[in-house]
Amino acid sequence: MSTSTHSSAEPSAPAADRARTGGSVTDDLVEANAQYASAFSDPGMDAKPVLRVAVVACMDARLDLHKALGLALGDCHTIRNAGGVVTDDVIRSLSISQRALGTRSVILIHHTNCGMESITEEFRQELEMEVGQRPAWAVEAYSDADQDVRQSMQRVRTSPFLLHTDDVRGFVFDVTTGRLREILPVS
């Protein structure tokens, strides 16, 4: 299933350019950065987010978190992974975000129609068979986004490494409407 907004009949302009020049997507991105950098001026910001919030979300390309949440550059820390699940590495990032950079709030965002709902832990077994080594990480697949948000909230709230666990809220983003739906934790 393609998540691109471009139809396969009409490639994007950079894709059409690559077809003519033989360049790669990375080449296009490096060129875009050169254009960006030519007009860039240091905003003079600190690494500490202005709103003192960290957002944990899925890496899905359909989620434009800054636009969806009305955020500007420097407002938050954004931590993304497959599914937006709270893993040990997310706890690591949140610990640094809170303890070294002053965040106090955590927002967790899963979304509808997530790819993590269509794969299973068998993915690890398939990788092991293919490469001869079992991944050390869990896939963290799920079939119920609401329940996984609750589990992720619980992981944040009970982590001994996090200082601030009283303002942790979870949501599911609807990829067809752009709306967030809040998920209440288990009481």
Q: Given a cut of 60, is residue 137 above it in pLDDT?
A: yes
Q: What is the DSSP string of 25-78?
A: HHHHHHHHHHHHHHT-------SS-TT-EEEEEE--TT--HHHHHT--TTSEEE
pLDDT at 185: 86
Q: Given a cut of 70, is residue 17 above it in pLDDT?
A: no
DSSP secondary structure letter of residue 13: H
Interior angle at CA 144, CA 152 and CA 82, nearest 5: 55
Which stretch of 15-19, 128-132, 136-140, 163-167 has the lowest confidence by average pLDDT?
15-19
Report the chain's mean pLDDT, rounded to a whole number: 90
